[in-house]
Structure 1
Amino acid sequence: MLQTKELPEIPKIETERLILRKITTDDVNDIFEYASVPDVTTFVLWETHRAKQDSLDFVKFAEEQFDNNISIIFGIEIKNEKKLIGTIDLRNWKAIHKCGEVGYVVSKKYWNKGYVSEAMKAVIKFGFKELHLNRIEAHCEEENIGSWRVMEKCRMKFEGILREKVFIKGRFRTMKMYSILKKEWKEL
């Protein structure tokens, strides 16, 4: 199975409207623009960015995650705007099980425009074709309707409720779990 250390760098993936690519220090202003908005960070594990240094630290974190074979964090850039609007990552894959997990965050200005679904379909394809995964899963908070709708649009199947699975921002959160298997996947 392909591991990130076999990839010389984070690949660039193009879709109809997006470029998924490595994030760099040049993206700090765009990252801060969305990561400093409390509505955007309500359902993520990390805290709202309070200073651009938080966004710079995230860029360094993304690089370390890739270098240490933990995850591939792609920046989501709108082609015609040349603007980073969020990130999508493939993480927690296990070579022996050929399983991975996808997660994402996007600027509120770009919600409900199909960008996350478009990015997710591209990352699912990358996971199955390039990393040779058999299963890709995703979790979201039960209350995060927009997120589980993205999963359903990408033909992921609802597998169940994980009661009080994670402790985020001072309280336990119940998660919904979705997945798609390689044999169920067709070019989305």
Structure 2
Amino acid sequence: MNIKEELISTRLILRPLREDDFAAVHSWASIPDNVRFMDWGPNREEDTREFIRSAKPGYDFAVTLKSTGQVIGSCGIYPTQKETAEVGWILHRDYWQQAFGSELARALVDYGFRDLKLHRITSTCDAANYGSYRVMENAGMRREAEQLLARWNRVDEKWADQYRYAILAGEYEILPDRH
């Protein structure tokens, strides 16, 4: 296993979260529309500070633009059991629909299989979150399940269906566009 603190893709650098990222992180974590499909938030300032303080290098990352260093989101890869992890991400809404999500998800999947030597990587999203499940599909993941009323939407205050996606190491190895 080779834990890295920084991942570099075509347009992004994924690096450890730092305390001076607070303003950028809070700019998306506190906006209800930005966190509509997350299982946390909208954040108060103290929630955002705790999130940054508790970030684990090599597993939690700030998503930054390679060209400017601007923090536009955060993402992570979280071990769940032996050789298995779940990936997740959030981008500031100003950066949606520009393929940054697909790029960072591919970087996490590459890192998980190449460096962390994982067997399986999973992710979930609200079934209404088309952008997020398209990101999973663009990263080579396949939908495994639709779980009815399985997640609580804190913004809309209602139960929602969720999709579970996954990719196995063997599936990753035969992806035509893996990095």
* TM-score normalised by L of structure 2: 0.89
* CA–CA separation in structure 1 for the residues paired with 2:26 and 2:68: 17
Pick from 28, 32, 51: which aligns with 1:38? 32
Q: Which amino acid aligns with 1:54?
A: D
What whole-Å deviation, never above 9, does each CA across 1:140-187 have from its counterpart, x for those lacking one? 001001101111111211112011222342432211111111111142
* CA–CA separation in structure 2 for the residues paired with 1:150 and 1:133: 20
Partner in structure 1 of residue 51 of structure 2: 58
Partner in structure 2 of residue 73 of structure 1: 60
* CA–CA separation in structure 2 for the residues paired with 1:168 and 1:37: 14
- CA-based RMSD of the aligned residues comes to 1.7
1:129 paired to 2:114 = yes
Identity of aligned residues (%): 28
Q: Which amino acid aligns with 1:24?
A: R
What whole-Å deviation, never above 9, does each CA across 1:11-68 have from its counterpart, x for those lacking one? 11111110001001010011011112111110111111233x33212101224xx6xx
Equivalent residue pairs, number: 173
Which blocks of at least 5 consecutive residues in structure 1 are unaligned?
none
Q: Which amino acid aligns with 1:156?
A: M
Partner in structure 2 of residue 172 of structure 1: 159
Which blocks of at least 5 consecutive residues in structure 2 are unaligned?
none
What whole-Å deviation, never above 9, does each CA across 1:114-146 have from its counterpart, x for those lacking one? 111101101101100111111111110010011
* CA–CA separation in structure 1 for the residues paired with 2:53 and 2:39: 17
Q: Which amino acid aligns with 1:49?
A: N
Q: Which amino acid aligns with 1:55?
A: T
Q: Which amino acid aligns with 1:76?
A: V
Structure with larger RCO (C-alpha < 8 A, sep 6+): 2
* CA–CA separation in structure 1 for the residues paired with 2:167 and 2:55: 25
State how 1:1-188 maps to structure 2 within 5 Å. 2=1, 7=3, 11-51=5-45, 53-63=46-56, 72-95=59-82, 98-169=83-154, 170-185=157-172, 186=175, 187-188=178-179
Aligned residue for 1:42, secondary structure, equals: coil
Moved >4 Å (runs of 4+): none
Q: Which amino acid aligns with 2:28?
A: Y
Q: How much has 1:93 moved relative to structure 2?
A: 2.8
* TM-score normalised by L of structure 1: 0.85
Aligned residue for 1:85, secondary structure, equals: strand
